C-alpha cells in the first residue's frame, strides 16, 4: 500500500515538475512576443464594441463598475453599454437607472434566471462587431479595451481575455488571492500562446459578436458558463488569446467560506464541463489544448490533492511527534532536536525533487509578479500565498470532487 | 500543429531533474552511512583504548581515570542510527549492518562501564533500554523521547538501547541475564526491570538511581 502511494506521489510530482518546465520553456519562447505587446504603439482600429453588464443584487459595486466602463480610453461613439438587471431584490435597478441618460447606455430588466440568461438577453440587442461582458463586481482600467482590441487586428482571433487582478485586497485571504491571480495572469498568458485557454472569464473577455451568432449564446453549464463558452470555442477551433496588459480588477471573497464556495464551484464546473467535452481529450486535432492542457488540468485536480495531502500528513505527523515529546518529556528536550548536523537533513529523492519543484515555483511566481505589476516586489501576499495556500486548496478540491462524485448541485453564491 | 519537440525537451529536463535527485540522494545517503561507520570505528577505538587503560588499572589507581574515559560518541551515534532507521532513503542492508555493530559496541561499552563501577566504586549511571519497531511496540517511540530528554538533562547518564527482537546472540544473552519480558518498552536500571511507557518526571520519581543522579547534578551545578 505504501509503495503504491509512493508511486502515485512520485508520478504526481513528475507531472507537476513537467508542467512547470513546460511553462518556463513556453515563456522563453514567447518572451519577445510579450515584450512586443508592452511596446506596441502601432495604429489601432477602434472596432465598435458593446459591453454587457449582468447584475444581480450588486447595488454596492455597480456604480463604480459602470463608471469604469465610461472612463475607458476608447471613442465613446464606438462603445455601447447594456446593463441588465437579472431580477435583483435590492436597489440595483435604481442604481442602473442613474445611467439612463447616457446616449450609449441601454438598461434592460428581467426576472431572475441566472447570469447566462441576462447576458443572452443583452446579446439579442448587440449590433456591434465586438461584444464583451463585465461582471458587476469588477472594474476595468482605462487602457484595458485598447489593449484587447489590438489583438483583433488578427482576423483569426475570435476572443481576447484580460488579466484579472484583485481589487483592493484588505485581509489575508484577499492578499493570498492577489498573488494567486498574478500567478493566473502568467498561466493564462502562456495558455493563450499555446492556443489552450479553457476559460473566457466573466470580467471583460471580449468576443467577436459572430462567435455567438455561429456557436450560439451562453447556456447553463454547471454554474461556470464562461468555461463552457471557451471550451465550445476551442472545440470549434476558434482562436482565443490573452492580453496580459489589459487589466481588470475584481472583488474577491473576503471570508474562507465564500472563497471555498467560489473555488469549489470553479473546480466543479471545470470537471463537469471537461466531461461534457471529453471528445477533446487526447485528440491531436485540438493541439496543445486537447493533447496536453485539458488532460493535465483535469489530472492536476487529483495530483494536487495527493501532494497537498502528503504535505498535510507530514505537517500533522510532525506536530503529533512534538506533542508526544511534550507529553513524555515536558519541555525537557532540546529545540534543536536531534542537532544541526547535516546528517539530519532529509536527503531522500522526494525532498530533493520537491525542493527543485519549489524553486521552479518561485521562479514562476517571480515572472508572474513581473508580468502582472511590471516589476518584482516582495509583498505580504507572496508570503501568505506560499505558506497558507497549500492548507486552503484541499478544502475546495475535496468539495468539488465530492459534489461531482455525488452529483450534488452547486450554487452561485 | 503540436510542437512535439517541446514536450520532448520538457520531458528530458524533468527526467534529468529526477535522475539528478536520485543520484544526489544516493550519494548523500552513502556519505551518511560512511559518517556513521566512521563514528562506529572511532567508538570501537575509544572502547579499545578504554579497555587497555582499564587493563593498566591493575598497576595504577582509579584516580588516573579522566572524565573522557568512556566514549562520548555513543549517544550521537545512537541518534544517527535511529534517524536512519526511520528514513526509508537508507538501504535496509546498510542500516542492519550499522545496527549490528552499534549494539555490539554498546554491550562492550556497558561491560566496561560495569567493571569500572565495580572496581572504582563509582555510582552506576546507566540504563538498558529494550525497544522494538513501531508495529510491535506502540509506545517505544515515546519512550525514546523520554530517554533522550533524560540523557540531555543528565549528560553523565548512559542509555544503552537494544532492539528486543533483533537477531543478535549478545542481545538474547542480555535479555536472559536480566529476564526481560517482551512487554515493551522495558528499561533496566541497576538490574531492576521497569516496564511500560514512563515520562521523564515518572522516571525521575520512580527510579531511585535517577533521584541520586538528580541530586548529584544539582549539587554539582551549585
Q: What is the ipTM of this complex?
A: 0.84
Mean pLDDT of chain B: 81
Q: Which of B24, B32, B199 sits opposite A328 (nearest CB)?
A: B199
Give the model's pLDDT for residue B121.
72
Q: Quick one: closest CA in A to B139, which residue? A: A324
Give the model's pLDDT for residue A123.
95
Q: Which of A291, A325, A330 sits opposite B201 (nearest CB)?
A: A330
Homologous superfamily (CATH) for A42-259:
Spore Coat Polysaccharide Biosynthesis Protein SpsA; Chain A (3.90.550.10)
Q: Quick one: closest CA in A to B34, which residue? A: A343
Q: What is the pLDDT of residues A112-131, one digit of tens each?
A: 988 899 999 999 999 999 99
**Between chains, do A17 and B14 touch, taking CB under 8 Å as contact?**
yes
pLDDT tens for chain B, 222 residues long, are: 677 899 999 999 999 999 999 999 999 988 888 888 888 888 788 778 777 776 776 656 666 665 556 667 777 788 888 888 877 778 888 888 888 888 888 888 888 878 777 777 766 678 899 998 777 788 888 898 888 888 888 777 888 899 988 888 889 998 999 888 888 899 988 778 888 888 888 888 777 777 666 666 555 554
> Does B197 contact chain A (CB < 8 Å)?
yes
Q: Which of B35, B143, B153 sits opposite A332 (nearest CB)?
A: B153
Q: What is the pLDDT of residues A63-100, one digit of tens each?
A: 999 999 999 999 989 999 999 999 999 999 999 999 98
**Between chains, do B21 and A353 touch, taking CB under 8 Å as contact?**
yes
Give the model's pLDDT for residue B79.
80
Give the model's pLDDT for residue B148.
85
What is the C-alpha separation between B74 and A78, in angstroms, rounded? 84
For residues A139-162, give the mean pLDDT.
Answer: 94
Q: Quick one: closest CA in B to A352, which residue? A: B21
Model pTM score: 0.81
Indicate whether A336 pLDDT > 60. no
> Does A339 contact chain B (CB < 8 Å)?
yes
Amino acid at each position: 500500500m505504501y509503495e503504491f502511494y509512493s508511486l502515485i506521489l512520485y508520478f504526481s510530482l513528475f507531472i507537476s515538475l513537467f508542467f512547470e518546465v513546460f511553462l518556463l520553456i513556453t515563456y522563453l519562447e514567447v518572451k519577445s512576443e510579450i515584450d512586443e505587446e508592452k511596446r506596441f504603439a502601432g495604429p489601432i482600429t477602434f472596432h465598435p464594441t458593446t459591453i454587457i453588464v449582468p447584475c444581480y443584487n450588486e447595488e454596492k459595486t455597480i456604480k463604480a463598475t459602470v463608471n469604469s466602463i465610461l472612463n475607458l480610453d476608447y471613442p465613446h461613439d464606438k462603445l455601447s453599454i447594456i446593463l441588465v438587471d437579472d431580477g435583483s431584490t435590492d436597489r440595483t435597478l435604481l442604481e442602473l437607472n442613474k445611467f439612463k441618460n447616457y446616449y450609449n447606455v441601454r438598461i434592460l430588466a428581467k426576472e431572475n434566471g441566472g447570469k447566462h440568461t441576462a447576458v443572452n438577453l443583452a446579446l439579442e440587442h448587440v449590433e456591434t462587431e465586438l461584444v464583451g461582458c463585465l461582471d458587476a463586481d469588477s472594474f476595468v482600467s482605462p487602457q484595458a479595451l485598447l489593449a484587447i482590441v489590438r489583438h483583433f487586428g488578427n482576423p483569426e482571433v475570435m476572443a481576447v481575455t484580460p488579466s484579472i487582478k484583485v481589487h483592493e485586497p484588505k485581509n489575508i485571504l484577499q492578499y493570498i488571492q492577489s498573488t494567486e491571480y498574478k500567478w493566473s495572469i502568467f498561466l493564462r498568458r502562456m495558455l493563450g500562446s499555446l492556443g489552450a485557454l479553457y476559460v473566457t472569464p466573466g470580467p471583460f473577455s471580449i468576443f467577436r459578436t459572430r462567435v455567438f451568432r455561429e456557436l450560439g449564446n451562453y447556456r447553463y453549464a454547471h454554474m461556470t458558463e464562461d468555461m463552457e463558452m471557451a471550451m465550445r470555442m476551442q472545440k470549434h477551433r476558434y482562436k482565443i488569446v490573452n492580453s496580459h496588459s489589459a487589466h481588470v480588477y475584481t472583488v474577491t471573497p473576503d471570508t474562507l467560506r465564500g472563497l471555498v464556495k467560489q473555488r469549489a464551484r470553479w473546480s466543479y464546473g471545470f470537471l463537469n464541463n471537461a466531461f461534457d467535452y471529453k471528445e477533446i481529450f487526447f485528440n491531436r486535432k485540438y493541439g496543445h489544448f486537447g493533447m496536453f492542457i485539458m488532460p493535465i488540468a483535469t489530472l492536476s485536480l487529483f495530483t494536487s490533492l495527493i501532494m497537498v495531502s502528503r504535505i498535510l500528513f507530514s505537517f500533522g505527523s510532525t506536530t503529533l511527534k512534538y506533542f508526544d515529546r511534550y507529553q513524555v518529556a515536558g519541555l525537557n528536550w532540546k529545540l534543536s532536536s536531534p542537532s544541526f548536523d547535516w546528517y539530519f537533513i532529509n536527503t531522500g529523492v522526494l525532498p530533493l525533487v520537491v525542493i527543485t519543484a519549489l524553486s521552479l515555483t518561485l521562479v514562476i511566481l517571480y515572472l508572474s509578479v513581473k508580468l502582472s505589476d511590471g516589476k518584482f516586489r516582495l509583498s505580504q501576499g507572496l508570503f501568505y500565498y506560499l505558506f497558507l495556500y497549500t492548507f486552503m486548496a484541499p478544502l475546495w478540491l475535496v468539495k468539488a470532487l465530492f459534489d461531482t462524485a455525488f452529483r450534488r448541485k452547486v450554487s452561485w453564491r | 500543429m503540436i510542437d512535439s519537440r517541446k514536450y520532448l525537451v520538457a520531458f528530458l529536463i524533468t527526467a534529468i531533474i529526477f535522475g539528478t535527485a536520485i543520484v544526489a540522494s544516493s550519494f548523500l545517503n552513502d556519505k551518511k552511512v560512511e559518517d556513521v561507520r566512521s563514528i562506529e570505528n572511532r567508538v570501537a577505538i575509544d572502547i579499545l583504548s578504554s579497555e587497555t587503560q582499564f587493563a593498566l588499572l591493575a598497576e595504577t589507581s582509579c584516580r588516573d581515570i579522566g572524565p573522557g574515559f568512556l566514549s562520548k560518541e555513543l549517544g550521537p551515534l545512537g541518534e544517527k542510527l535511529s534517524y536512519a532507521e526511520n528514513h526509508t532513503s537508507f538501504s535496509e542492508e546498510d542500516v542492519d549492518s550499522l545496527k549490528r555493530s552499534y549494539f555490539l559496541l554498546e554491550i562492550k561499552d556497558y561491560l566496561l562501564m560495569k567493571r569500572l563501577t565495580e572496581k572504582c566504586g563509582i555510582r552506576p549511571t546507566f540504563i538498558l533500554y529494550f525497544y522494538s519497531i513501531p508495529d510491535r511496540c506502540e509506545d517505544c517511540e515515546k519512550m525514546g523521547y523520554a530517554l533522550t530528554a533524560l540523557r540531555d538533562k543528565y549528560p553523565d547518564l548512559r542509555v544503552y538501547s537494544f532492539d528486543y527482537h533483533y537477531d543478535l546472540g549478545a542481545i538474547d544473552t542480555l535479555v536472559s541475564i536480566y529476564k526481560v519480558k517482551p512487554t515493551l518498552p522495558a528499561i533496566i536500571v541497576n538490574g531492576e526491570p521497569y516496564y511500560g511507557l514512563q515520562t521523564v518526571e515518572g522516571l525521575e520519581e520512580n527510579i531511585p538511581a535517577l533521584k541520586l543522579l538528580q541530586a548529584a547534578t544539582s549539587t554539582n551545578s551549585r
